[in-house]
Amino acid sequence: MAAFSYVDLLYPWVTEKFIEVTMSGYKRVAGDEFGKSMPGWFTDEPHIQPPDGSIRWTPDLFDVFQQTWGYDLKATLPSLFEEVGDWQKVRHNYTSTLLQMFIDRWAIPCYEYCEANNLHFTGHYWEHGWPDMSHGGDNMAMYAWHQMPGIDLLFNQFNEQSATAQFGNIRIVKEVRSVANQMGY
């Protein structure tokens, strides 16, 4: 990524532009087979973590936060870094705001596009850093907006204690199965 974020998935209409540019090309090439022999769209680790480890920001974050929680995030920014003020509430509200923006601006538009085009939206989110919330907040909430929630595992290990095991193998399988059960898939 050359120390730059690939795109701001929280910025309004970025996902719709991505869909327009990318999926129209697939649709043009696949023709009548779009949604048939090409049954779905796999997304691989979309996330919202800034590459430099800073806190996540997008141009309308402060406005959305204010509308959602009724107070000014700018006035409480130190609580994101230090245990000052009502830091637990601020961190919860901040993370919840980012998650809802990620759902509204990435997952739902992708889901709706797939619904309208007889495709299955599938794939997975960045789970390797769990319980670090900076990549997206809650993968299970994101999976609820997939027609077919999925995962990919790069290691075939059952023992998560092994130095070569991909962290979370057992947990992510249980998460995706739980979402599938809850959503009736």
Does residue 171 form part of some domain?
Answer: yes
Q: What is the mean pLDDT of the chain?
A: 87
Domain assignment present for residue 8? The answer is no
Q: Number of structural domains, the chain? A: 1
Domain residues for the domain of 113 are 14-183
Helix (H, G, I), strand (E, B) or coil at 42: strand
Chain center to CA of 76: 25
pLDDT at 33 over 70: yes
Against a cut of 0.95, is the pTM above it?
no
pLDDT, one tens digit per residue, over 94-140 is 999 999 999 999 999 999 999 999 999 998 887 766 667 777 888 88
How far does Cα 58 stand from its chain's mean position?
15
**CB–CB of 117/19 below 8 Å?**
no
Asked whether residue 6 is domain-assigned, the answer is no
pLDDT tens-digit readout, 133-180: 777 888 889 999 999 988 877 655 555 565 555 555 677 888 888 988
Comparing CA positions, the residue from 8, 42, 181 lying closest to residue 110 is 42
Tell me, rounded to whole angstroms, the distance of Cα 122 from its chain centroid: 12
Domain contains 4: no
In a domain, 5, yes or no: no
Instruction: Assess if residue 175 is contained within a domain.
Output: yes
Q: Which two tokens stand for residue 149?
A: 């929630």
